[in-house]
A and B are shown apart, each in its own frame.
Chain A
């Protein structure tokens, strides 16, 4: 930019610091959200991979078979395979500590008697301080903890540690401390090592392994060894490189990443409105100055460059600030996301330190600048096309505004209708990248229609505010309607922010309603016992004996015994649930959405058929009568599909088989849930206590039917914890848009307000007018936000939920959030206008009139 124009711009900046600050803040917020989301996604994936890699030690291959593990005999087969240099058996358990209280401790069961070469990062250089190795291996209560854990809880050799085991609380003795590196680094150092036999015994894994870590010999390549092992092992036991296990987890959390990414783009969209607004106002403030510059010989290109250079500089400053803010935001988001990942995907993230990815940072700066230029383009173009004579002499032409353009309305309506029709009627499997455009169509159409909504809104609000607040209300609405350029950008920012809130609130409520309906159909039990209060906890289980004791209670009329596992189908991890099918059908007679109940029940009970969730049917294109092949540790099981129903446990899908069949193929009798029906008239409170007395000492969570539904609903809230955080950010960004507009609007309208005062407007009338204008903008933003939010929610339930997880859910209008939004928006509007109104009322009239 020419140095003369630079001088003019810098003077403008020093004169309009507030506008400048709010613009930079708008850019910073958009970039902060964008950067934080990308960083969170990356850190989470890195962390998941890092966990897998660190747990694998120096292993080049891992042998695993899902949550239920596999028989210990497999170790012999593996060790006997040509090319295996080392093969170490491992069990993994996440145990709850009792003392110190409420910690989660990852307990690795290792063959401590071996030289543990694969895990030398834990134990090399004498850092595995086991004073008495013989005592460590010979006593079942021995445990070694990381130095970090020991230091945190002041544990030393010989101190005790109380853990919740499968058979109740047990005391363990610290007989070793190891390095907080490698495996010891994950889980924030909450890692312990036990001898494998003791770990198997304490955590119900006797005779089973969770994995075998393998290192190939120098003369046999890893892939060749993997092929050799696969040929010797049953299909249900997987042989993979450690890094591929990380990819599977990455796949599992993909839907969460998708939601986060949508949020980051919405934040940037709101950011565009804020910057557009700011530059439009800057154009109005500088109208005469531009006229003078044109008059003294600055060409159109020079004016355009002046504006765009300003956009670039503000983009750079805002982006750098945004990255600083994004680092803080990412730290919070990572904590939330890690919890969600652990609860819902059973995935442990490592203690991998948060670090700034400079590529992301550069990308974010680039996006910030691009957004800034994009938003400044139209105002810059308008500035460069100003007619100098008009700009210099005719003050009133400053406010030349565009009216309603019929073509714009037709295009806007066309986009909205096209988007909604595509959401409703297009095939679901086209691909999310294409289907995202349905959402973009609706949003874009609504943006085009904003002037129309403002016009209509002002017609509705004018008499209402006039009735409530007198002439100031009427003038406020008229002023708002007469300045669509200013109003559109603020209403747009509010609309996008609120639509995000309404859409996600609608989506969450729709999910909850669908889950509620599904639980009524699929969970007819009066009582539910769970071995964990998390969806995917894999440590604590009941024994069959416990289930039998419960079934023997005189009040119990039916007992279903369930275990939860996972199998691979089509490269994805599918939830596998085994039920006592007869009891399941008795308790939930309306279970099936598809399939004839009587033959389906007969086939399922006899292990001759499987039930599947509707989302698996959709995702894997499976229909009634199709046969599915399920790999188990003892071979492949092939069953026809005899029934299908809605079930929301897994985004990837769920298969239901009879428990006896599961036990036979998976050699696993552990129990995760027990469903109980009781005799009519049984006192629920008394019976609940009776259950707790029956299973005393075991980790168990007892729920009545309604309590279990409430717990499931809370789980959904936990899953969407980050979404709630995003909602707050969306409102915050939209509020900044409103504050921006009101502050700048007063400064822009200084002369207008001066005239208003000069011809007899009282101070309180001016203040009231400014406040009411903000309220009017807020209300139209709210209205358009709710409409757009509902359209977006319709997209989320019809397209996103279907494509990402195959879920079919009906849209539920989020009444509570919508009603809550009204006072919230009004409060934000009033607050954002308070100081501008105060300043407007105290304007110096003579100065303001001669302001230009």
Chain B
């Protein structure tokens, strides 16, 4: 399998009074189509790792590569376009735009890319149907349950068929039953699209759905199932 994400000696320090080291000299490779779970206690650096992969944050030292291209060589527009088309982001707090309906939230990245509204909405409806929300197309986030919101977020993340899905505690705000449904949905989508999934989670049963599992502590990868 070819490599899609690589960390080469990546460190991320926050220049606060106590100089927090969120990521400490991490080397990591993730291949295309893999499912990787990253576990660890709060503050261990899991979310920072995802932020560095998506270019939302920059490393203090070392290099992050995406499809063998160093993110540090990309300008802001290139990073944004990478996020738009090649990375699907799923957050614990869903991060939907509250003023938009389910369809509008999902179609937004397409429309940012210049796609006509009708076409973008058709694609959004297709994905929302795929995640079981065809009855909730015109609802706003505040009219939906937590599980439904997360399904919208997942549909949005898949709208460009991205090669990578980054999921940060996608079940963290959900009850166990709904959380299990979401993980099942991610499995199904992975099988269907062969998407690389990087899953940050506290939930060990969710992590068991992934072939590779790492544990982080104080910014370092301290164990893996390999």
Contacts and interface: CB of A to CB of B under 8 A. Distances in A.
Interface of A: 393-401, 470-471, 474-475, 478-479, 482-483, 751-752, 755-763, 765, 845-846, 849, 852
B104 A478 contact: yes
A849 B100 contact: no
Nearest to B157: A759
A758 B89 contact: yes
Nearest to B104: A478
B99 interface: yes
B109 A399 contact: no
Contacts of B113: 760
A763 B76 contact: yes
A758 B104 contact: no
Given A399-B99, A845-B56, A761 B112 contact: yes
Interface residues of B, number: 36
B168 to A, nearest CB: 10
Given A396-B141, A396-B142, A759-B83, A482 B56 contact: no
Nearest to B80: A762
Given A760-B85, A846-B51, A479 B80 contact: no
B95 A755 contact: yes
Contact of B83 (A751, A758, A765): A758
Contact of B89 (A394, A478, A751, A759): A759
Contacts of A752: 97-99
A394 B142 contact: yes
B51 A474 contact: no
Given A755-B97, A760-B112, A849-B91, 14 more contacts: A396-B149, A399-B98, A401-B99, A475-B111, A482-B100, A755-B96, A757-B80, A758-B56, A758-B95, A759-B84, A759-B156, A762-B77, A763-B80, A849-B56
Nearest to A390: B142
14 contacts: A395-B98, A396-B142, A399-B98, A470-B114, A471-B114, A752-B98, A755-B96, A756-B97, A759-B108, A759-B156, A760-B83, A762-B80, A846-B51, A849-B91
B57 interface: yes
A765 B112 contact: yes
A839 to B, nearest CB: 15
A474 B111 contact: yes
Contacts of B99: 399, 401, 478-479, 482-483, 752
A842 to B, nearest CB: 10
A284 to B, nearest CB: 10
A399 B142 contact: yes
Contacts of B171: none
A755 B89 CA distance: 10
A41 to B, nearest CB: 46
A847 to B, nearest CB: 9
Nearest to A764: B77
Nearest to B48: A846
Contacts of B195: none
B28 interface: no
Of B81, B91, B96, B112, the most chain A CB neighbours within 10 A belong to B112
Contact of A474 (B80, B93, B94, B117): B117
- Top 6 closest A-B pairs, CB basis? A760-B84, A482-B99, A396-B141, A399-B98, A397-B142, A396-B98
Interface in B87-146: 89, 91, 93-100, 104, 108-109, 111-114, 117, 140-142, 146
Given A471-B111, A758-B95, A849-B95, A393 B173 contact: yes
Contacts of B104: 478
Contacts of A478: 99-100, 104
Contacts of A756: 97, 108
Given A399-B142, A400-B142, A845-B56, A759 B98 contact: no
A258 B5 CA distance: 74
Contacts of A846: 51, 56-57
Contacts of B117: 474
B142 A760 contact: no
A676 B119 CA distance: 77
A716 to B, nearest CB: 48
Contacts of B95: 751, 755, 758, 849
B11 interface: no
B100 A760 contact: no
Nearest to B115: A471
A758 B97 CA distance: 12
A759 B93 CA distance: 14
A761 B94 CA distance: 17
Nearest to A396: B141
A396 to B, nearest CB: 4
Contacts of B85: 760
Contacts of A758: 54, 56, 83, 89, 95
A755 B149 CA distance: 15
Contacts of A394: 142, 146
A634 to B, nearest CB: 80
A845 B84 CA distance: 14
Nearest to B145: A394
A760 B98 CA distance: 17
B173 to A, nearest CB: 7
A759 B54 contact: no
A400 B84 CA distance: 27
A403 B211 CA distance: 48
Most buried by B among A399, A471, A758, A760: A760
B66 to A, nearest CB: 14
A751 B91 CA distance: 13
A479 to B, nearest CB: 6
B223 to A, nearest CB: 26
B219 to A, nearest CB: 16
User: Which of A394, A401, A765 gathers the greatest number of chain B CB atoms within 10 Å?
Assistant: A394
Contacts of B111: 471, 474-475
Contacts of B89: 758-759
Contacts of A400: 142
A760 B81 contact: yes
Given A394-B142, A474-B111, A761 B80 contact: yes
Nearest to A849: B95
**Residue among A394, A396, A397, A762 having the largest count of chain B Cβ atoms under 10 Å:** A396
A399 B141 CA distance: 10
Contacts of B140: 396
Interface in B26-55: 51, 54
B166 to A, nearest CB: 10
Contacts of B149: 396
A475 to B, nearest CB: 7
A765 B142 CA distance: 26
Contacts of A393: 173
A761 B97 CA distance: 13
